[in-house]
Amino acid sequence: MTNNKINRIDKDIQKTREKITEYQNRLKELQMQKTEAENLEIVQMVRSMRLTPQELSDLLKSDPIPGIATVTPDEEEKEDPDDEA
C-alpha cells in the first residue's frame, strides 16, 4: 500500500517536472516573440523618420531624444533594486 502511494507521488513529480519544462520553453518563446515585436516597432519608427544612416547616427549622438530620460551610470547603480538587501 505504501509502495503504491510512493509510485503515485513519483508519477506526479515526473508530470510536474515535464509541465515546468514545457512552461519554461513556452516562456522563452514568448519572450523572443516580444523582443522581435519590439525590434520591429523600433525599425518601423526609425524608417518613418526617413533618415540616412549617417543622419540617424548623428541624431542618436546629439541631444537626448524628447520624452526619453537619460540615466548616467552613477544614477543607474544607485537605483538598482537588486543591490538592496
Query: Average pLDDT over the chain, rounded to whole?
Result: 85
For residue range 8-36, list pLDDT tens digits in order.
999 999 999 999 999 999 999 999 999 99
Q: What is the DSSP string of 28-77?
A: HHHHHHHHHHHHHHHHHHHHHTT--HHHHHHHHHSSPPTT-----HHHHH
Least confident of 2-6, 10-14, 58-62, 68-72: 68-72
Domain coordinates in residue numbering, the chain: 2-80
Rounded CA separation 44/37 (Å)? 11
The pLDDT confidence band at residue 85, using thresholds 50, 70 and 90, is very low
Beta carbons within 8 Å of 46's beta carbon, 6+ residues apart: 56
